[in-house]
C-alpha cells in the first residue's frame, strides 16, 4: 500500500475518474473534485472514507483555495496534486468569440494555476509533493481548428517547465502528462465547445473532423498503471507522453523546427549585432 493522498480536479469522468479509481484500488486516498459533487457519489459509496468528494469550479480561485485547504486538513497532507479539468474550444482563429477564448483559458490555464498556487504553500511546508497536469500532444504540436486549445496547453507546458525549476529545492516534483487521442468522453459536448462558423473555413474543418474520425483511439483504462508508476518515482520525468501517438509527432515536429532554425542561423547571427555588456536590474 502506497498510502498517497491525491487531490484531483475533474474527477467525475475521463482520465480524472480512471486515475482516481486506480489510486483508490491500491489503497491511496483521494480528494476528488468536480463541478457537480453528486457525480462522485458512487465513488464515495465504493471507497468510503478514502474519498473526500468536493464541489469545485476551478475558475473560482477562492473556492479552489478552500477545497485544497479542506483536503489538506481532512487527510493531513497532500502527496499528489493532479490538474485534470479542461476542455477544447473548436474553431478557426478567426471564428471563436473572445468570451469563449477567455473561458477556455480560465479553465485550462488559470484553473490549473489556481490549484497550484493554493497547494504550493502546503507542499513547501511539508517538504514534498508531486504536481501533475494533464496537458496533451496538442501542448507540443499545434493543429488547425483547435488553435485556442493548443494555446492553452502550450501555456500550461511553459508554466510547469518554469514551476519545476522554482520548486525543485523544496522537494516538490512536477510532471506534464501528454496524452494523445483516447476513447474518453472528451469528444462529448461537455468537453468540446464548437465556435461559430465562417464558411471560408468549412472545407478545412471538414477535413480535420474526417481525419479525427479515422484515428485509432487508445484505451483510457490502459493508462492507469503508467500514471501510478509516474507518481511513485523518486525522479519522475517533467514530460511524459501517455500512449503511442506523441513521440512520432514530436520527432517530426522538432526535426522540422531545427531545420528551419538552422537554415536561418546566419541571418539570426547577424541580428545579434556587436556583443555588449548590459546591466540587469537586481531583484
CATH code, 61: 3.40.50.720
Q: In the chain, how many domains are there?
A: 1
pLDDT for the residue 1? 41
Which residue range is the domain that position 88 belongs to?
5-245
8 and 29 Cβ atoms separated by less than 8 Å: no
16 and 90 Cβ atoms separated by less than 8 Å: no
Helix and strand numbers, DSSP H then E, in the chain: 10, 9
30 and 6 Cβ atoms separated by less than 8 Å: yes
Percent of the chain with pLDDT over 90: 86
Query: C-alpha cell of 261?
Result: 532554425
Catalytic residue flag (residue 149): yes
Catalytic residue flag (residue 135): yes
- Domain presence at residue 178: yes
CA 161-70-165 angle, 5° bins: 15
pLDDT for the residue 132? 98
Give the three-state DSSP class for 26: coil
In sequence order, the 6+-apart residues with CB closer than 8 A to the CB of 259 are none
- Domain presence at residue 136: yes
The string of pLDDT tens digits covering residues 23-74 is 999 999 999 999 999 999 999 999 999 999 999 999 999 999 999 999 999 9
Q: How far is CA 209 from CA 64, 137, 183, 276, in A?
A: 35, 17, 16, 51
Q: Given 153, 182, 195, 205, which residue is catalytic?
A: 153
The verdict on pTM exceeding 0.85 is yes
Rounded Cα distance between 208 and 145, Å, is 8
- Domain presence at residue 84: yes
The string of pLDDT tens digits covering residues 143-164 is 999 999 999 999 999 999 999 9
- Domain presence at residue 223: yes
pLDDT for the residue 236? 98
Catalytic residue flag (residue 153): yes
- Domain presence at residue 254: no
- Domain presence at residue 269: no
The string of pLDDT tens digits covering residues 231-246 is 999 999 999 999 999 9
Catalogue the long-range contacts made by 99-105 (C-beta closer than 8 Å, 24 or more residues apart): 100/148, 100/193, 100/195, 101/148, 104/148, 104/149, 104/152, 104/193, 105/148, 105/151, 105/152, 105/155
- Domain presence at residue 83: yes
- Domain presence at residue 282: no
User: Residue 183: which pLDDT band, with cuts at 50, 70 and 90?
Assistant: confident
Q: Given 47, 149, 195, 205, which residue is catalytic?
A: 149
The string of pLDDT tens digits covering residues 265-283 is 999 999 999 988 877 776 6
The mean per-residue pLDDT over the stretch 208-214 comes to 84
Q: Given 4, 12, 33, 135, which residue is catalytic?
A: 135
Amino acid at each position: 500500500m502506497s498510502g498517497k493522498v491525491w487531490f484531483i480536479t475533474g474527477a467525475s469522468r475521463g482520465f480524472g475518474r480512471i486515475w482516481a479509481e486506480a489510486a483508490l484500488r491500491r489503497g491511496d486516498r483521494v480528494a476528488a473534485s468536480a463541478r457537480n459533487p453528486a457525480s462522485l457519489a458512487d465513488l464515495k459509496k465504493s471507497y468510503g472514507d478514502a474519498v473526500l468528494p468536493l464541489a469545485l469550479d476551478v475558475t473560482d480561485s477562492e473556492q479552489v483555495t478552500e477545497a485544497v485547504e479542506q483536503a489538506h486538513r481532512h487527510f493531513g497532507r497532500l502527496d499528489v496534486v493532479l490538474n485534470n479539468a479542461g476542455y477544447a474550444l473548436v474553431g478557426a482563429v478567426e471564428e471563436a468569440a473572445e468570451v469563449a477564448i477567455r473561458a477556455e483559458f480560465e479553465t485550462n490555464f488559470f484553473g490549473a494555476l489556481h490549484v497550484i498556487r493554493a497547494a504550493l504553500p502546503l507542499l513547501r511546508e511539508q517538504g514534498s509533493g508531486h504536481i501533475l497536469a494533464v496537458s496533451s500532444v496538442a501542448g507540443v504540436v499545434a493543429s488547425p481548428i483547435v488553435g485556442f486549445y493548443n494555446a492553452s496547453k502550450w501555456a500550461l507546458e511553459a508554466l510547469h517547465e518554469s514551476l519545476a525549476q522554482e520548486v525543485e529545492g523544496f522537494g516538490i516534483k512536477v510532471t506534464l502528462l501528454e496524452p494523445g487521442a483516447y476513447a474518453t468522453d472528451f469528444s462529448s459536448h461537455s468537453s468540446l465547445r464548437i465556435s461559430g462558423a465562417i464558411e471560408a473555413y468549412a472545407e478545412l474543418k471538414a477535413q480535420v473532423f474526417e481525419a479525427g474520425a479515422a484515428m485509432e483511439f487508445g484505451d483510457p483504462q490502459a493508462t492507469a498503471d503508467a500514471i501510478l508508476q509516474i507518481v511513485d518515482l523518486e525522479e519522475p520525468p517533467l514530460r511524459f507522453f501517455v500512449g503511442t501517438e506523441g513521440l512520432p509527432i514530436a520527432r517530426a515536429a522538432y526535426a522540422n523546427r531545427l531545420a528551419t532554425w538552422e537554415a536561418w542561423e546566419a541571418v539570426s547571427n547577424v541580428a545579434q549585432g556587436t556583443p555588449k555588456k548590459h546591466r540587469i536590474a537586481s531583484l
